[in-house]
Amino acid sequence: MDEKIRKRAEVWTRPPYDEATRKAVLEMMEKRQEECADAFYRDLEFGTGGLRGILGVGTNRMNPYVVALATQGFANYLQKQCQAEGLEKQVAVSYDCRNGSSQFALTTAKVFAANGFKVYLFTAMRPTPVLSFAVRHYHCCGGVMVTASHNPKEYNGYKAYGKDGGQLVSPHDKAVMAEVSAITSLEQVKMEGNDHLIRYIDEEVDNAYLEKVLSLSLDRQAVEQQAQMKIVYTPLHGTGMTMVPRALCRWGFRNVVCVPEQMVADGNFSTVASPNPEERAAMLPAIGLAKREKAALVIATDPDADRVGVAIPDGKGDFILLNGNQTGSVLVHYLLRKWKDSGKLTGKEYIVKTIVTTELLKKMAGKNGVECYDVLTGFKYIAGIIGRLEGEKTFIGGGEESYGYLAGDFVRDKDAVISCCLIAEMAAEAACRGESFMDILCSLYREYGFYKESLVSVSKKGMEGAAEIKAMMAGFRKNPPASLGGEKVVETRDYGHGYAGLPASDVLQFFTEAGSKVTVRPSGTEPKIKFYFGLCLPWDPEKSYEEQDRDGNLKIEAFKKDLGLS
């Protein structure tokens, strides 16, 4: 074993580390040296969104000690902010269903309290958007959500929030990272005392949040007419179970059927291989129940309930799983149409999307005289635009292709609770007009063109994987493709040093002469490199949706081949 790694590991075999941790590290050093090297070769990076990593002992793992170190750094930053801006020293802390989450949340609360912060700590797991709401509701200077979102069960994480209820953006994210990196020893962490500053919260903030959610309804009459519309819902063992059924009930839906085996908090996600509503396998139990119940809609939320997956009947006894761009397109179309019909469009409204999200959103917004802002991947950038334009313009809604959407501005992160309610209302309103989700989607394609998108993620784990991803990005920069799928590449955008006013980011985009777009970027939360494909093809009225979807898939396969992915 590398001598530097051995010395880093040996520190964890002595106090103040607890006995179980010390034994686990000693055993790993003796019997599983490769695993030990990966656990100690670096500190788990506190990135612009916080922490995310595999559970276990070690500096490169998620555990109470790493959480305590990060919290002390975050507390140091917030202390300076409070002094500079005259803010009260108070934070909100929440957590999801994952293994270790409640312990990490309590550790976080204790460190903040030991540093003199009043802490609003949820008594039980809650969705990420509820934490964002709580930060604003209690006028906190910051917040923490313990979650790894839709990552596999081996992971957990830690999201840091600013006073606006959004994840940190520049320059605050870099400032927090600097404070966290300055904490190199547990001796620098305040852990004991001031527990009386921890206040436990639950129903008071739940009710305030749910009332705000209900205020976003755009068609109460449609909901009343379709109150018995059958909806199948699954939280995939996560936090959505605490809010989504309650929100749908308040909204007026009286026939919500939950997948019983997945309405159980379970950090091992025992009924699914991956708790990700982007994957059809995760949706199968809900789809099976929906078939038996003859439901009109299936909705699923990820473990921290900030993303939502949707499945709709195909008219042939099965269900079609919509991708994130399709759900986002139908949702934004609904918002724009209802705002226009009610006379709420004044020329000062806007939507926001990420650069990898379908261009259909921008086309729809433009037709309605609504401005569309493009931001880097990450919902914090959408929240940043909302904050910057607050008081000047009105945010209608927006989202990203990775199944995250938002309407209203009382939450500053993607919100699956809001999304579930609006999606159900859309389905109800369409049913009143004798239409389906697919009818709406195809009408958009007829008007704007057939948008076909796909995502390919290539996993590269460990030290070698990180180096390989870096080499792949360097290779694409040095030798960008000349053509993709028979289409000439006419523009390459490198966001490495910023582009069009956006911050620098390790992202490449290739645009073809036919209007297709491919985006390449390393994941900020998983050991993956991601390829986003976006095509806009002519809509052929002589072909079915299924036929045109297959044609689009063939075109994407040709693109993948030219990028060396197949």
Q: What distance in Å separates the CA atoms of residue 524 and residue 506, rounded to the nearest whole number? A: 10
Edge-to-edge strand ranges of the sheet holding 450-459: 450-459, 528-537, 517-522, 508-512, 487-494, 483-484
Q: Are strands 256-258 and 231-234 parallel, antiparallel or unpaired?
A: parallel
Q: Are strands 483-484 and 487-494 parallel, antiparallel or unpaired?
A: antiparallel
Residue 400 sits at the vertex; the CA angle it makes with 470 and 311, to the nearest 5 degrees, is 115
CB burial of 447-471 (b: ≥16 within 10 Å; e: otherwise) equals: ebbbbbbbbbebebeeeeeeebbee
Q: Residue by residue, what is the 3-state secondary structure of 207-258?
A: HHHHHHHHCCCCCHHHHHHCCCCCEEEECCCCHHHHCHHHHHHHHCCCCEEE
The answer to whether residues 453 and 325 touch, using CB atoms and an 8 Å cutoff, is yes
Dump strand ranges (E) for 253-360.
256-258, 297-301, 308-313, 319-321, 349-354
Instruction: DSSP for 467-529, please give it.
Output: HHHHHHHHHHHHS--SEETTEEEEEEEEGGG-BTTBPP-S-EEEEETTS-EEEEEE-SSSSEE
What count of residues does the chain have? Answer: 566
The catalytic residue among 101, 149, 402, 454 is: 149
Residue 149 annotated among the catalytic residues of the structure:
yes
- The dihedral sign for the CA sequence 29, 32, 38, 43: negative
Q: What distance in Å separates the CA atoms of residue 379 and residue 514, rounded to the nearest whole number? A: 29
Q: What distance in Å separates the CA atoms of residue 57 and residue 35, rounded to the nearest whole number? A: 11
Collapse the DSSP code of 116 into the 3-class scheme (helix H, G, I; strand E, B; otherwise coil) and give the result. Answer: coil
Q: What distance in Å separates the CA atoms of residue 252 and residue 509, rounded to the nearest whole number? A: 44
Residues ≥6 apart with Cβ < 8 Å to 214: 247, 250, 251, 421
Q: What distance in Å separates the CA atoms of residue 191 and residue 488, rounded to the nearest whole number? A: 59
| 16 preceded by a cis bond (ω within 30 of 0) | yes
Half-sphere exposure of 262 (CA within 13 A, CB side): 31
Q: Identify the helix (H) or strand (E) that includes residue 425.
A: helix 416-432
Residue of 391, 421, 423 lying closest to 409 (CA atoms): 391
Catalytic residue numbers, as ranges: 149
